[in-house]
Amino acid sequence: MLPRPKKRFGQHFLTDRHYLGRIVEAIAPEPGQPMVEIGPGSGLMTDELVPRLGRLDVVEIDRDLAAALRARYAPAQLIVHEADVLDFDFTSLAQPLRVVGNLPYNVSSPILFRMVEIADRLRDCVFMLQKEVVDRMVADPDTADYGRLSVMLQYRFAMAMAFRVPPGAFTPPPKVDSAVVRMAPLPATRLRAQDEHRFASIVAAAFGQRRKTLRNATRLVAEPGAFERAGIDPGRRGETLSVEEFVALSDASG
């Protein structure tokens, strides 16, 4: 029997077997791979992953759902971490780690920024999120969806939307479409900012007030001469800059 969804946790359980199968196919789990599932909920995807992996870690905030999962599996097969995912120490798990899950809509962005912080320890992430969030994650420069989330994720990951999932695939149905996205950490040879804290500050400032020019939006974090050194017109707006240009502006501010 499907557990009753709890509104305070933003629970929408994926119950459509067709889309469940497609997500597992996108994950392509193999025996022995270190993997953690965020928010396993009713455990339908967990039931598909455990036999393929042999062992799985899950992070579940709902104590009732966590207890049900513990009762269903032996500890050698499933390790249930009863915790808020935003407080969970992913570095305590084996590496390179694969992270998967149907992310709660209300905390999806903070979870994604956690993945940025631990990207060096990851093999990949396969997430289902609200489609409009995925649109932002994979957006190109100079488009309406392109913003801070786009830049910070694409700076660290290769991003690809896999497919859409309609509201009817969930119980209860959400009011929005969902989508599955894969995030693969870029290699060690990737473009890196000389000062990643400064880079993040400039990106945040550039999108803090989207209608402002870069000159005005970043005046507290980018040196006045940095635009000329980077070859960037300070009259442009943040949404027109590529990830590479943000790195160049950050480095020129050093």
pLDDT, one tens digit per residue, over 17-68 is: 999 999 999 999 999 999 999 999 889 999 999 999 999 999 999 999 999 9
pLDDT band for 6, please (50, 70, 90 cuts): very low
This prediction's pTM: 0.92
Q: Are 93 and 77 in contact (CB under 8 A)?
A: no
pLDDT, one tens digit per residue, over 159-210 is: 999 999 999 999 889 889 999 999 999 999 999 999 999 999 999 999 998 8
Pairing of strands 97-102, 35-38: parallel
Q: Which residue segments constitute the domains of the chain, with CATH numbers given?
A: 7-185 (3.40.50.150), 196-252 (1.10.8.100)
The C-alpha R_g of the chain, in whole angstroms, comes to: 20
If one counts every other C-beta atom within 10 angstroms of the C-beta of residue 211, the result is 9
